[in-house]
Amino acid sequence: MPASVQTASGQLQITQSFSVEVSGARDVSLDEEVQRFQTQLSRQTGIPFRPKPGAAATLQIHADHGRQAVQKLGEDESYELTVTDSGAKLTAPTTLGVLRGLQTFLQLVEITPTGFAAPTVTIKDSPRFPWRGTLIDVSRHFIPIDVLKRNLDGLAAVKMNVLHWHLSDDQGFRVESKVFPKLTGAGSDGMFYTQEEIRDFITYAHDRGIRVVPEFDIPGHSRSWFLGYPELSSGSGPYTLEGGGPGYIDPIMDPTQESTYKFLEKFIAEMARLFPDAYFHIGGDEVDGKQWDANPKIQAFIHAHGMRNNQDLQAYFNQRLQKIVSKNHKIMVGWDEILHPDLPKTIIVQSWRGQKSLAEAAKQGYSGLLSNGYYLDLMWPAARHYAVDPMAMITTDAAAALTAEEKSRILGGESCQWAEWVTPENIDSHIWPRNAAIAERLWSPQNVTDVPSMYARMNAISLDLEFLGLTHRSARQHMLHRMAGTADISALRNLADVVEPVKDYERWDDAKGPIDFHAPLTRMIDAVYPESDVARHFNDLVQTFIKSGYKDQAAEAQIRMWLALWRDNDALLHPLLTQSYLLQEDVTLSQNLSAVGASGLQALDYLDKAQPAPDAWKTQQLAVLTQAKTRQADMLLMVAAPVQQLVEASAGHN
């Protein structure tokens, strides 16, 4: 949603003669962007453009200035877009602003009774925050470069401007180092990016107005480093990428030996050359310190240097690290834990803890980014992410009130796609389309908060993203086919449509032991969307029906249609479920859905008769629904709760 929109009646038809003309500042990346824009508009509309020679261009583009060779934080992204019945004009101070405006134009075009068209509109737009990113973890599951590239296309479509590349963690080191080849040689299972691929990837990102910020997470989350270089660690090893096992503790780098810093000096110098962005992320999160506790040499170092605890030791490490990063002309970024008064104010803190932590940092003079509330792997609905505002704590909590200058230190935020439970096959559906809601939170004015209109926009861009090459919808189709082994998956899709994965970290059941990062992720939970559109739509119908005093017949008819579909679904689906080892665990889930359908239909029958349902029936149905709401095969049936409302309503006005 742009910062300012003025609409008028009328529309600009998109026809085969659609054409683009560029004046003002030009560069290769703008020319390529215009080409991509036309390709994407052609895909979205299905129209092969054949501009008429000599005719005035449909869309005129003008930028006053070019872009920075290396995209800067805060570089001007503003633009103005005017659409009239006869043409459109896009102007911007920089070619970077043109990139943003072209995405807006793509979003304006929709199908109408008379053809594809963009509405008549005047837009003046610029982002609320200068840092709007997505973190993608490529360590827990390696994500190939082509999959990342299509996600860059997605980020550009929603005007995000940072890919935070979480390149190393316990489970894998993913960047070729020519100085320390054993980092990937021993620590990557052969799955890593070459420096050539990385340079190409950074150019690809830059062409789309996206900065690439590398993260090498140290001193914790660094087991993969120690397979090739065990001497860096605070323990004795030997280490494996799998980890786990009895008595196993998470390895940490040893900050007490000078050789660690010599290694990091060389390593960071190499990586600082490879990654042109001004920022360099060193992680710094979740250092559990057990290896430090267990190592007498390290404890002796702590005492000898007058440190109080492991936190002080990490602060010492970070100070040393900051000097190395700074020497390489980079600004250090790290997670909450790096915050320490001894570090210079130039560093940036990324908060997984929340707005309060961010506000406190800002008060102390540190700039920060919000990620708490934007963890895509927690399987929240888009609306919940959308409600998280980087400034929210500041406006609601007087104690945290910040000055204007302090506020300006809140640079924006980043969604996070941690990769414990994703593969190249399903990562798109974990990121999209929900990431579009977070992108809007970070771009659009703070007062743009209406949830239904957010969902309307999110659904629209979700379709565009598939035309862009993302597979967030189509992958589910493939995965359901694999599970079923059959061409007809309609009954399976009916079930998949109304379930969601369990939320937060509930899938991560410690009782099952450590995660096997090499196991197939091919279960129903891996295929279904994190948020069920059907369940949300059904819930809306039920709320409409209830608010009407059970009188809205159109709503009731639709509710009945869904309930009947679900009631009858298990009979169709059950034989399929038992034939496939991947679907056997879903037998109860399918039975529950049918029970929910039957229960809801009975409740509507009672409501239609305007006679309270018998207590015994109600008790029985609530038991059915309670069972239906319990987790099955790590999934939740999202339509049980609204049906429960119907059952409760049918039993009288309590």
Contact residues toward a copy of itself (CB under 8 A) are 16, 43-48, 50, 110-115, 423, 425, 459-460, 462-463, 466-467, 473-474, 477-479, 481-488, 518-522, 533, 537, 561, 568, 578-582, 584
Token readout for 207 is 């062409």
**β-pairing verdict for 20-24 and 59-65:** parallel
Give least dist CB 262 to a copy of itself, A.
Answer: 35
Question: What is the number of helices (H) and of strands (E) in the chain?
Answer: 25, 18
User: Nearer to a copy of itself by C-beta: 402 or 499?
Assistant: 499
Q: Contact 309/329 with Cβ under 8 angstroms? A: no
Backbone φ/ψ region at 378: left (φ over 0), alpha (ψ -120 to 50), beta: alpha
Token readout for 231 is 């001497």
Token readout for 598 is 């039957």
Give least dist CB 420 to a copy of itself, A.
Answer: 15
User: Nearer to a copy of itself by C-beta: 211 or 472?
Assistant: 472
User: Nearer to a copy of itself by C-beta: 142 or 275?
Assistant: 142
Give least dist CB 219 to a copy of itself, A.
Answer: 29
User: Nearer to a copy of itself by C-beta: 474 or 619?
Assistant: 474
Instruction: Give Rg (Cα) of the chain.
Output: 27
User: CA–CA separation, 533 vs 554, rounded Å?
Assistant: 20
Please work out, in degrees rounded to the nearest 5, the angle formed at the alpha carbon of residue 66 by the alpha carbons of 63 and 69: 155
User: Nearer to a copy of itself by C-beta: 388 or 576?
Assistant: 576
Give least dist CB 295 to a copy of itself, A.
Answer: 33
User: Nearer to a copy of itself by C-beta: 445 or 520?
Assistant: 520
Give least dist CB 142 to a copy of itself, A.
Answer: 10
Token readout for 193 is 């990016």
**β-pairing verdict for 115-125 and 79-83:** antiparallel
Q: How many CB atoms lie within 10 A of CB 28?
A: 8
Q: Contact 211/411 with Cβ under 8 angstroms? A: no
Q: Which of 429, 415, 422 is nearest to 134 (CA)?
A: 415
Residue 71 per-residue DSSP state: P
Give least dist CB 311 to a copy of itself, A.
Answer: 39
Cβ neighbors of 88 (< 8 A, separation 6 or more) are 12, 58, 59, 60, 81, 82, 105, 118
Give least dist CB 483 to a copy of itself, A.
Answer: 7
Which amino acid makes up residue 46?
Answer: G
Cβ neighbors of 261 (< 8 A, separation 6 or more) are 320, 324
Cβ neighbors of 121 (< 8 A, separation 6 or more) are 5, 6, 7, 8, 81, 82, 83, 108
Residue-level length of the chain = 654
Confirm whether 286 is a catalytic residue: yes
Q: Contact 620/649 with Cβ under 8 angstroms? A: no
User: Nearer to a copy of itself by C-beta: 191 or 269?
Assistant: 191
Give least dist CB 121 to a copy of itself, A.
Answer: 18
Q: Residue 89 burial (CB < 10 Å; 0-12/13-18/19+)?
A: middle
CA distances from 415 to 160, 165, 204, 238, 434 (A): 10, 12, 20, 35, 10
Give least dist CB 92 to a copy of itself, A.
Answer: 28
* Dihedral sign computed on CA atoms, order 627, 629, 630, 633: positive
In degrees to the nearest 10, what's the CA dihedral of 393, 394, 400, 403? Answer: 170
User: Nearer to a copy of itself by C-beta: 271 or 527?
Assistant: 527
Q: Contact 334/283 with Cβ under 8 angstroms? A: yes
In degrees to the nearest 10, what's the CA dihedral of 328, 333, 338, 340? Answer: 80
User: Nearer to a copy of itself by C-beta: 459 or 620?
Assistant: 459
Give least dist CB 471 to a copy of itself, A.
Answer: 9
Token readout for 645 is 């409302």
**Residue written as token pair 């003309």:** 21
Crossing angle of helices 640-650 and 533-547, in 10° steps, is 20
Q: Mapping DSSP to helix (H, G, I), strand (E, B) and coil, where does residue 97 land?
A: helix
Give least dist CB 169 to a copy of itself, A.
Answer: 18
User: Nearer to a copy of itself by C-beta: 300 or 456?
Assistant: 456
User: Nearer to a copy of itself by C-beta: 74 or 485?
Assistant: 485
Choosing from 286, 406, 531, 585, the catalytic residue is: 286
User: Nearer to a copy of itself by C-beta: 179 or 561?
Assistant: 561
End-to-end CA distance of the chain: 42
Give least dist CB 160 to a copy of itself, A.
Answer: 21
Residues with catalytic annotation?
286
